[in-house]
Amino acid sequence: MRLLPREEEFFDLFVAVAQRNTVAAEHLRELFDAPPERRIAHVEAIKRLEHEADQVTHEVVNRLDRTFITPLDREDIHQLASDLDDVMDAIDGTARRSQIFHLGPAPEGVKQLTEVIQRMVGVLAEGVGRLKKGDDVMKCSIEAKKLEEEGDAIYQDALGQMFETERDALEVIKWKEIYDNLEMTLDQGEDVANVLESITLKHA
């Protein structure tokens, strides 16, 4: 029995946020698959998940302040919590814009990107879930980075096609911002993958 036991609940808190990110990414994909008049339920569901994730992230920070011995480096705990929260914020930001902009049917490129984001967030959640035991975390990190590259290629192709074919300047402005936010979500996910990789290397 340790005189000063490590606080292990951080792992459960990370998983709690990662799982909410997974559900939010699913709603984001369904949002753009749905006709415009049926999107509001997904926007509201994502907003609820974002609020819940915020509360869990605050708990990580509060627990960090009062924990003497942590299972990972303090800066890694703070960074992972922050980066997971950034993924949720990016998803929420895109969902909100879909309402503000009164968007019509989604272009195929948007649907493809949300599908990649859903897969990426799922892989990251698996990596976070494996963090406590340290099994195959690196594999999840590498897979997430491959998905970021796949998403980048879709983003570039879809933007090029839109600029070539869309004649309504306002539609271009609206959808470009959606594309940019989806691409940013992939970048935020890559940040999570990088932290998972860093933690794994430190504890190898």
Amino acid sitting at position 153? A
Backbone angles phi, psi at 39, to 5 degrees: -90, -25
Integer CA distances (angstroms), 87 to 35, 68, 70, 71, 105, in order = 25, 28, 24, 23, 24
The model's pTM? 0.94
- Domains of the chain by range and CATH? 9-202 (1.20.58.220)
Per-residue pLDDT tens digits for 119-154: 999 999 999 999 998 889 999 999 999 999 999 999
Per-residue pLDDT tens digits for 39-95: 999 999 999 999 999 999 999 999 988 888 888 999 999 999 999 999 999 999 999
